[in-house]
Copies of this chain bind each other. A is one copy, B any other.
Amino acid sequence: MTVQRRRLEPEARRQEILEAAERLLRAHGPGVRIDEVVREVGVARGTFYLYFPTWDDLLEAVRARLFEAFDHTYPLPSEVRRPVDWPAALDWLVEAFVDFTVGLGGLHDAIFHSDFAQRRPSGDDAVVRLTAIIRAGQEAGSFAAVDAEPTARLLFAAIHEATDAVAAGADRDRTFAALRHILRGSLCP
C-alpha cells in the first residue's frame, strides 16, 4: 500500500534534497523546517538524515553551493592574458556580489543572519577572495600598501551591509556610490 520507494543514486538524492531546500529557503527564508523539505522532495523524514547529519549541515551545504556558483560565474580576474584594471574589476565584482546576494531572497537571511551563521561561521571564503584581489592589485601597483587581510575583512562587512541595505529597500544607486567611494578611498593611493 505504500508509495513506491524511489531508490536513487546517493549523490542524486542528496542533490534533490539540497535543491528542494534551496528553493524553499529562497521562497520562505529562515523558518523553513525539515518537514517541509522532505515533503517537497517526497521522501520520508528519516531519509533526510541519511544525507545530512543535522539541519545545520544542510545549510552549510547550501551555503557552499552558493559560494561555488558565485565563484564559477564570477572568477577572479587574472593577469595571465593582459593587465587588469583592478579598481574597475573590484567595483564590478562587488556589484555582482551584491546583486547575487540580494537575488537570494529569503535564503540570504537563512544563511547570513540566522543563528546558523553564529553556530557555523562561514569560513571567510569571501574575505579570502577579497584579500587575494587586494594583494593582486597591490602587486600591480593599483592599490595602496594597506594591510590586506584585516582591510579585506572590514571592507567585506561594508559590502555585505550594502547587500542588506539594498535588500531592505535602500536606494541602490546611492548605496553603490557610497560603497565605491569607500573602496576607492581605502584602497587607492
Contact = CB atoms under 8 A, between A and B. Distances in A.
A150 interface: yes
Given A157-B158, A158-B157, A158-B158, A151 B182 contact: yes
The interface residues of chain A, by DSSP majority, are classed as helix
B174 A154 contact: no
A153 B181 CA distance: 13
A165 B185 contact: no
A161 B157 contact: yes
Nearest to A176: B150
Interface in A136-162: 146-147, 149-151, 153-158, 160-162
Contacts of A186: 181-182, 185-186
A170 interface: yes
Contacts of A153: 161, 165, 170, 178
Contact of A182 (B30, B114, B115, B155): B155
Contacts of A122: none
Contacts of A165: 150, 153-154
A2 interface: no
A150 B171 CA distance: 9
6 contacts: A114-B115, A150-B174, A153-B165, A153-B178, A157-B158, A185-B186
Interface of A: 30, 109, 113-115, 117-118, 146-147, 149-151, 153-158, 160-162, 165, 170-171, 174-175, 177-179, 181-182, 184-187
What are the 8 A-B residue pairs with the smallest beta carbon separation, nearest first?
Answer: A157-B161, A185-B185, A150-B178, A154-B158, A185-B186, A151-B178, A182-B186, A157-B157
